[in-house]
Amino acid sequence: MNTQDNQSDETTDFGFEQVKKGEKAGRVREVFDSVADQYDVMNDLMSGGLHRLWKRFTIELSAVRSGQTVLDIAGGTGDLAAKFSKLVGNDGNVILADINAAMLSVGRDRLIDKGALNNISVVQADAQFLPFEDNSIDCITIAFGLRNVTDKDTALRSMHRVLKPGGRLLVLEFSKPTSPLLSKIYDAYSFAALPIMGKLIADDADSYRYLAESIRKHPDQDTLLDMVEDAGFVDCRYHNMTGGIVAVHRGIKG
Amino acid sequence: MQHDPAVITGICRAVELAIERAVRLSPGTATQLQGLHPLDVAIHCTEPTISIFAFIDAAGMVKLASYRETKPTVAIEATWRDFGKLATAADPAAALINGDIKISGDTAALLQVQRVISDLDVDWEAPLVDALGPLLGHQIANIVRAIVHGTKSTHRRVKRQLSEFILEEGRLSPSAGELDAFFSDIDDLVLRADRVESRLTRLKKRVSTLVETVK
């Protein structure tokens, strides 16, 4: 039995649902095809604008300099890529990658509007099988994308492969609140308010229900830290933000 | 206590926007700031433990960050109380030198920053005129200017009258002239006491010499 057959038998989570591994990418694609146009508006509404601060801190942690090559995986609408574009300057290069063509299309249009495409390449790619040379990237970021990846370990190993020695990985992702009270409030908000907001703004309650479920199924801070270390990264650490609702994990390729 | 990076990042962004706005309303400042690039200042508060990094980008804009790996041009370290004293000091340069603030790196850069801040001349009437039109905007600006001027002169007057009451009316504290005369008298008295003491020493020596001679 080949790898393809193995994958078709194994299951993985899609929110609280168990689906065959081969089906998850397609299901995730359906979700993001549906929300692509309203993605940034919904992000602002759902997080109260906080996602901008989470991303800003992630960019600070990246310590990206002029002339470097940055890969933004699951970069979707390109907000991180636009900021990295300024930091790397004309001598550097930013690659905006996403598995979803609809998100990339929205992202590319936004970047054209901002006049930021001169040092940005747009690539449709699966995080598990990155189509880049070994040791070719200075910094990889994946913001709110890892939880949608079918096999997170494979994706982290793929990121490790394409990073240059000394290069850094930054994973910004929803995580587990550190306070039990905040956790309860957050649960109520996620499962009651999010689908309603999704229905009102994007006319799609299911996609936002999936968002809440996928966050709960995503590994907590320490588990993800172990996964990043297992993928071969060193000097790994994480920073909790907004009481652990979000965490940014950092790993260096040794 | 571990602080939340999102909170510090939010504060940095808010301050950054305020500075950006002030610089835009002070035409000469942007050029002065551009001359300071690539200045990088690290501000470490030890109680509570928070670090903020201020730097000037190539476009001459002041940027703030809660995390930065670049080696700073100058680093300042103090408790929040010391930073508070510095912020409210009448002479910040003296407070910086005489206070408990640790400075490392190129201190000349701080003087350049201080020069830029003192030259900052914000045309705050411009946004009012933009929003309300030249007539109403200018009138409101005049009213605000009069209120600010009135508040400042009232503050100065109250300060002067209070000091006069303490010195003249209430006699609660001596005046500077009286203090000078008092300290001058003390100095004079100390000198006289020293002279008397040396005369007594000489007299004692002579008496002991005479006693030895008589024996």
Helix (H), strand (E), coil (C) string for B59-70: CCCEEEECCCCC
Shared domain for A128 and A198, answered yes or no, is no
Judging by DSSP bridges, how do beta strands A11-14 and A17-20 pair with one another?
antiparallel
A127 with A193, same domain: the answer is no
A242·B6 Cβ contact <8 A = yes
Nearest-5° angle of CA B54, CA B55, CA B58? 160
Residue with tokens 């096999």: A151
CA atoms of A204 and A168, how far apart (whole Å): 36
Domain identity same for B90 and B129: no
Task: Give yes or no: residues B57 and B79 share one domain.
Answer: yes
Supply the Cα-derived Rg of chain A in whole angstroms: 17
Please answer yes or no on whether A57 and B5 come within 8 Å at the CB atom.
yes
**Contact between chains at A60 and B13 (C-beta distance less than 8 A):** no
Residue A44: its H or E element: helix A39-47
- Residues of A whose CB is below 8 A from B66: 57, 60
Percentage of chain A beyond pLDDT 90 is: 54
Closest residue, chain A, to B12 (C-alpha): A53
Tell me whether residue A15 is in a domain. no
Please tell me whether residues B30 and B75 are part of one structural domain: yes
Q: Does A50 touch chain B (CB under 8 A)?
A: yes
> What percent of chain A has pLDDT above 70?
96
Give the Cα-Cα-Cα angle A250, B2, B4 (nearest 5 degrees). 65
C-beta atoms of B9 and A240 within 8 A: no
Mutate to test the interface with B, among A47, A60, A66, A241 (most CBs of B within 10 A): A60
**Shortest distance, CA B183 to any CA of chain A (angstroms):** 58
Q: In the 8-state DSSP scheme, what is residue A245? A: T
B65: nearest CA in chain A? A60
DSSP characters over B105-159: E-THHHHHHHHHHHH----THHHHHHHH-HHHHHHHHHHHHHHHHHHHHHHHHHH
Q: How many CA atoms lie within 13 A of B11 on its CB side?
A: 11
Q: What is the dihedral of CA A52, A55, A57, A60, to 10 degrees?
A: -120
Strand-pair category, A120-124 with A137-143: unpaired
Asked if the structure places residue A131 within a domain, the reply is yes
A142 and A232: one domain? yes
Q: Verify that B193 and B138 share a domain, yes or no.
A: no
Question: B71 and B95 share a domain?
Answer: yes
DSSP per-residue codes, B16-58 = HHHHHHHHHTSHHHHHHHHHHTT-EEEEEETTTTEEEEEEE-T
How long, in residues, is chain B? 215
A59 and A108 share one domain = yes
- Cα separation values, B20 from A184, B64, B88, B132, B166, Å: 39, 11, 23, 22, 44
B188 shares a domain with B106: no
Range of the domain at A192: 180-211
Q: What is the pLDDT of residue B173?
A: 77
Structural domain includes residue A121: yes
- Whether A65 and A168 map to the same domain: the answer is yes
Residues in CB range of B212: below 8 A, 6 or more apart: none
Check whether residue B21 and residue B58 sit in a common domain.
yes
Based on the fold, state whether residues B36 and B113 are members of the same structural domain.
yes
User: In chain A, how many domains are there?
Assistant: 2
- How far is A159 from A228, CA to CA, in rounded Å? 10
In a domain, A7, yes or no: no
Residue A117 pLDDT more than 80?
Answer: no
B68, A56: Cβ pair inside 8 Å? Answer: no
Query: Is there a single domain that holds both residue A195 and residue A88?
Result: no
Q: Which of A60, A61, A242 sits opposite B4 (nearest CB)?
A: A242
- Please tell me whether residues B98 and B184 are part of one structural domain: no
Given this model, what pLDDT does residue A8 score? 56
What local confidence, expressed as pLDDT, does residue A212 receive?
83
**Is the pLDDT at A1 greater than 50, yes or no?**
no
CATH of the domain at B97: 3.30.1050.10
Q: Are residues A150 and A166 in the same domain?
A: yes
Same domain, A169 and A47: yes
Q: Taking CA atoms, what residue in A is nearest to B11?
A: A53
Task: Mark yes or no for CB contact B68/A60 under 8 Å.
Answer: yes
**To which residue do tokens 């690290």 refer?**
B42
* CB B50, CB B78: distance < 8 Å: no
In a domain, A130, yes or no: yes
Q: What is the mean pLDDT of residues A230-251?
A: 95
Taking one residue from A and the other from B, the number of pairs with CB-CB distance under 8 angstroms is 31
Asked if A193 and A111 sit in the same domain, the reply is no
* The last residue of a domain, from among B119, B154, B188: B119
Contact of B212 with chain A, judged by CB distance below 8 Å, is answered with: no
Which tens digits make up the pLDDT trace of A126-159? 999 999 999 999 999 999 999 989 899 999 999 9
Q: Which residues of A touch B10 (CB under 8 A)?
A: 53
Is A56 in CB contact (< 8 Å) with chain B?
yes
Same-domain check for residues A202 and A241: no
Amino acid present at A35: V
* Number of domains observed in the structure of chain B: 3
Q: What is the pLDDT of residue A102?
A: 85
Q: Which of residues 3-22 of B touch A (CB under 8 A)?
A: 4-6, 9-10, 13
Q: Are both A63 and A169 inside the same structural domain?
A: yes
**Paired strand residues for A246:** A174, A241
Q: pLDDT tens-digit profile of A40-86?
A: 777 788 888 899 999 999 999 999 999 999 999 998 888 899 999 99
Whether A196 and A227 map to the same domain: the answer is no
Domain boundary among the residues B80, B97, B119 is at B119
Q: Which residues contact B41 (CB under 8 A, 6 or more apart)?
A: B53, B54, B55, B72, B73, B74, B75, B76, B109, B110, B113
Alpha carbons A214 and A227: distance in angstroms, whole number: 18
pLDDT of residue A4: 47
In a domain, A19, yes or no: no
Kindly tell me the sign of the dihedral angle through the C-alpha atoms of B71, B77, B80, B86: negative
Minimum distance, in Å, between the CA of residue A89 and any CA atom of chain B: 11
Alpha-carbon distance A131 to A123, whole Å?
Answer: 9
d(CA A152, CA A214): 13
Alpha-carbon gap, residue B171 to B163, rounded angstroms: 10
Domain that holds residue B213: 180-215
Q: Which two tokens stand for residue B73?
A: 């041009």
Cβ-based burial of A37 (10 A; exposed 0-12, middle 13-18, buried ≥19): middle
Q: Is B128 found in the same domain as B108? A: no
Question: B21 with B61, same domain?
Answer: yes
Looking at the structure, do residues B87 and B10 belong to the same domain, yes or no? yes
Is residue A15 left, alpha or beta, with left meaning phi > 0 and alpha meaning psi from -120 to 50? left
Contact B65/A at CB under 8 A: yes
Nearest to A120 by CA among A132, A105, A138, A108: A108
Pick B129 or A202 by higher pLDDT.
B129
Q: Does B1 contact chain A (CB < 8 Å)?
A: no
Q: What letter does residue A134 receive in the DSSP assignment?
A: T
Report, as an integer, the average pLDDT of A97-108.
88
As a whole number of angstroms, the distance between CA B195 and CA A172 comes to 80
Q: What is the CATH number of the domain that holds A229?
A: 3.40.50.150
pLDDT tens across the length of chain B (215 residues)? 568 899 999 999 999 998 888 888 887 888 888 888 888 999 998 878 889 999 988 788 889 999 998 889 989 898 888 888 887 777 777 777 777 888 888 888 888 888 888 787 777 788 888 888 888 888 888 888 888 888 888 988 888 888 888 877 777 777 778 888 999 999 999 999 999 999 999 999 999 999 998 88
One-letter amino acid at A213 equals E
Q: Which residues of B touch A48 (CB under 8 A)?
A: none
Q: Report CB contact under 8 Å: A246, B6.
A: yes
